[in-house]
Amino acid sequence: MRLLVSNDDGIFSPGVRSLANGLAAAGHDVTVICPDRERSATGHSLTMHQPIRAEQVDALFAPEVKAWSCSGTPSDCVKLGLWALLDGFPDVVLSGINNGSNIGTDILYSGTVSAAMEGLVEGIPSIAFSLASSPTPDFGPAAEFATVLLQKLEKNPLPEAMLLNVNIPAVPQSEIAGVTLARQGVRRYIDQFEKRLDPRGKTYYWLAGEVLEDIEQPFDPKFSSELPTDVQASRDNYITITPLQFNLTCAAGIKSLSDSFPF
């Protein structure tokens, strides 16, 4: 398969190197286009008011992997690849492997998920891979699962283009409980802004969010009552796969508001 790989941790991230090299070793045609520095929590932002630069990168990846370093955001990287650097659309767009999980409401801020979402916007099946936080991350199990998942999708393609948000627990392979489909959960943070002064005496603020709690969503009749949230399943050491879409229309809201029309 022809694969476009990006991330938000940057071109020097060991996570993207493990992912790209592993997929290339499995026989896939891999092109990597990543930010030239870390771009975590940039969401789906695009560079509109300055030029975007891209340079080919040698030596960071296996010889068969084509790689580019881009001055833009994760979404810029995928856009640039699809419309300027590649000679045709890939079969799948992949993002990661991110250093840190992207579950619950983290998805809204994640540059990792947004890079994959950019592929979905163009009608390309896309996958975001994230490894739960660890002081000594081992991306091997996540890269192995990515290879297995691509093999399954190659034999049994998705019925329609969608984004699969995949989170892998940061535990030894023997401690992974299994693989499960999951619905998106909720995480709540305490946003702390530390007030500081720069050398010229001007005030600035430094954001340091801290997870307060993971909130379980109430049962939604659209889903099976047995389907866990990504938050809970990740806590139980499952690899989670959550299908996502970019259409944010609230169907329940349309139904409830329709009784108020016409005004």
pLDDT at 261 over 80: no
pLDDT of residue 149: 97
User: Which sequence spans correspond to the domains of the chain?
Assistant: 2-182+224-254, 186-215
Kindly state the tokens that stand for 218: 């109430």
Mean pLDDT of the chain: 91
In percent, how much of the chain has pLDDT > 70?
93
pLDDT per position as a tens digit, 126-161: 999 999 988 889 999 999 999 999 999 999 999 899
Q: Which fold has domain 2-182+224-254?
A: Stationary-phase Survival Protein Sure Homolog; Chain: A, (3.40.1210)
pLDDT per position as a tens digit, 70-107: 999 999 999 999 999 999 999 999 999 999 999 999 99
